[in-house]
A and B are shown apart, each in its own frame.
Chain A
Amino acid sequence: MSGLPSPENFGYMHAMNRALHAEMAADEDVFLLGEDVGVGASGVTSGLLPRFGPERVLDTPLSEQAFTSFGTGAAMAGKKPVIEFQISSLIYLVFEQIVNQAHKFSLMTGGQVRIPVTYLVAGSGSRFGWAGQHSDNPYSLLAHAGVKTVVPGLAADAYGLLRAAIQDPDPVAVFAPSSLLGATDVSYAGEEDIVPLGQANVVREGGDLTVVAVGQHVGTAIEVAESLADRVDIEIVDPRTVYPFDWECLRKSVDKTGRLVVIDDSNRMCGLGAEIVATAAEEFDLVAPPRRVCRPDGTVIPYALALDKALVPGAGELTAAIDATLK
């Protein structure tokens, strides 16, 4: 594997790879651990082992629970671990170690210790054809538990948010949507800006209706907004950090538009979309009921491609929800 990606190939995955290179170069307490990180099997960790050596790039055995709490212990002793999970559903296996251990230590110890660990899920959501146990998007669960959680939708944000996550003194989960990993992004030219956690981004300005779009659905929302541009002026808010959520940015947008649609690749029941719609209903001035576009309740993604795609929200469902909100 080579070191840094070549400049003509700046995409989402390369943005994350560059962010890891930059943080490891900037701070010798940062180290990486996980399965297949040495060879860079996910693509995201390419070139780190040859550059930083086996003392800082630890290929782990297939022991997710132990190496997740290993990160917690190393953090207590002054290190800044980045743990890569190649499969999003592994978050279920280490929920105890993230939510019940790492996340709780700061409060439970009365502020004696902070746990600056980054959980990097480099390929979350459906990969189209990887079936039930490799296709979930569990970021709502971590947000519910109060773990700082980011879902970058654009390559530049993937770079900037991953760096901010590693620098943050608390545990932070970074979910990189699998459908974006291979994407290149003309808007990203390898800039080295850090994106602070907790700040949403107005991706597109508009006056008629606000779409909150998470992760890969930033792209979906841009596509839909352009396709409907002749009859509705859509503003797109990308929260970037789903917990803590930038309610002020969304409030300003909805104050202007009065209408809200959320597109989010969570399951419907207790998903991120539910939270956004509930808060909007409680606190914002809306001229129409807010709507959400998301996976069905309790979705398990089936293998057959047509069934997989039927359960993951997309442009058609978003357009229908926008139309319903405009009626």
Chain B
Amino acid sequence: MTSENRPALYRSMKLIREFEERCLAMAIAGEIDGGIHPYIGQEAVAVGICANLSERDFITSTHRGHGHVLAKGADPRRLLAELLGTLEGFNKGRGGSMHAADMKLGILGANGIVGAGGAIASGAAWAAKARGDSEVVVSFFGDGAMSQGVLLEAFNLAAIWSLPVLFVCENNRYATSLKLESGLAGGAARRAEGFGLVSRGVDGMDVEAVESAAAELLEGVRAGRGPAFLECETYRFFGHHSVLELLGVEFRDPDEVALWRTKDPIPLLGDQLGEDVVAGIDAAVKETIDEAVAFAKNAPSPDPKDALMYLYAGATAVRPGVIL
């Protein structure tokens, strides 16, 4: 890690933060349908990991996926256009927050089912390896996913077949509202070690620490030494999803939230860059997000008669239900 990378890391984190704060406000205001799961507080994980990936590498993401998608290089205008359900969105308004995907950037989809991405990541990794390509796959998931059987099955498949996958557990201490201690026996990294995965833990509020831990693990993954596991200790500054913010539901001790706020990864890195650099990046990021909001708000909506478009390849005739 060299200090020249710091402005880029800072910018990427700030972009996610600005995007998310704007989204959260728009979701609470009813401008975004459904809800969003804010990533605010966890930016160092997505940014530190994705700093090691090329466009050809794959990621699988989660319901809390905006940060991963943006860190992998997705255009914030098209991500916001997707959240507003428009044709300019990556998914043409068919996916929304929990399914944002950009296949051209190797983003194999955010996923609405906790733990579902790990097995998909393993399959994509196997396909890349079978072709003799050098791509790796990073699968992001939270501590809650560590209790999903399919994810543990995926660890096993990746290990026995020595697949190029980095499993990244974003341990934000809550599985929806369930405290870590009430939901996870034995510890995440120790479970991964049990499957023979090279396993490490890192301070997920320190982007440079995440970047360098991921670099070290990905070196082994890229060299064909099999899958690895990185547990990033982090925290979400807001609740599980925007509806909780709307309802005013808080299930955490305010002192705990305040303590983690002092570990905010963005000012932590910003302090090392100097006020002028930070102010310049902040202003540029704000402008980028302003443009994204304007772009998304002006994007056209899909036609209701096309509601089932893309379901099948070719012209499989779907018989009428509500749409005649």
Contact = CB atoms under 8 A, between A and B. Distances in A.
> Is B a genuine binding partner of A?
yes
B157 A105 contact: no
Contact of B103 (A58, A66, A96, A109): A109
B89 interface: yes
Contacts of A100: 113, 116
Contacts of A70: 119-120, 122-123, 126, 154, 157
A107 B94 contact: yes
Contacts of A111: 92, 309-310
A76 B313 contact: no
Contact of A112 (B101, B120, B125): B101
Contacts of A112: 90-91, 101-103
A299 interface: no
Interface in B282-324: 308-314, 316-319
Interface residues on A, range: 35 or more
Given A96-B113, A108-B94, A76 B312 contact: no
Nearest to B130: A55
B312 A71 contact: no
Interface string B86-102: 00011111110001011
Interface string A90-122: 000000110011000111111111100000000
Contacts of A61: 153, 156-157, 160
Interface residues of B, number: 50
Contact of A76 (B92, B120, B318): B120
A146 interface: yes
B119 A66 contact: yes
22 contacts: A60-B157, A61-B153, A63-B156, A65-B150, A66-B118, A66-B119, A66-B150, A66-B156, A70-B157, A71-B123, A76-B124, A77-B123, A79-B130, A81-B123, A97-B150, A100-B113, A101-B111, A112-B102, A114-B313, A168-B313, A169-B314, A244-B318
Interface of B: 58, 60, 89-95, 99, 101-103, 108-109, 111, 113, 116, 118-128, 130-131, 149-150, 153-154, 156-157, 160-161, 308-314, 316-319
